[in-house]
A and B are shown apart, each in its own frame.
Chain A
């Protein structure tokens, strides 16, 4: 069965510092992987997705993630944190091929705090 594990429920960085949020996956087939961001009292917004094209995926707001099959990882990075990046971040994997649906399996989430 597909699953994702986010390492670190809380990450704190200074404004301008590198952001690194970790995600490891388990999948029986080449996975489709996603990073979502959730601001307080809002729904989820897609940052980026990997669907077996380029291993380095660029997303919105300066975020990018690298798919590493050998490490079963899909870590999210941003070179320079901004105060507006403070939010909850979720890594997710598509449930294919277990179910022929758009079902996403989410990690527990990582809260990013950005200090001035």
Chain B
């Protein structure tokens, strides 16, 4: 079975631009979460979507937005990019909302570099 897939693998943008990252969850998983992992740090929670609705949001500015589609895939959008947005963006899927019980399966991530 295919795991969580993310695209693109790498991305280079300049300050002020906008970026869209994509995630396809494991088949049958209805929840997608997004995390930002800055170099040398642990992942930080950005969003969780379940059944196409936002169920949780981390401490990130409104420049960050996301959505989940009827097929449960998801997009993360970041507007007005800053140098500090350079990071590995991880997507994780789970069968339900999780709440710590369901295992969350992580994708390989998208490496975003902002110049």
Contacts and interface: CB of A to CB of B under 8 A. Distances in A.
Tell me if chain B binds chain A. yes
Interface stretch (B11-19, B62-70, B77-85, B104-112): B104-112
Prevailing SS type, chain B contact patch: loop
A102 B31 contact: yes
Contact of B45 (A32, A100, A105): A105
Contacts, number: 79
Given A90-B43, A104-B104, A43 B90 contact: yes
Contacts of A106: 42-44
B108 A51 contact: no
Contacts of B74: none
Prevailing SS type, chain A contact patch: loop
B31 A43 contact: no
Interface residues of A, number: 26
Given A43-B90, A102-B99, A102-B100, A109 B58 contact: no
A96 B48 CA distance: 14
Nearest to B45: A103
A109 B98 contact: no
A79 B3 CA distance: 30
Interface of A: 32, 36, 41-46, 49, 51, 90, 92, 94-96, 99-109
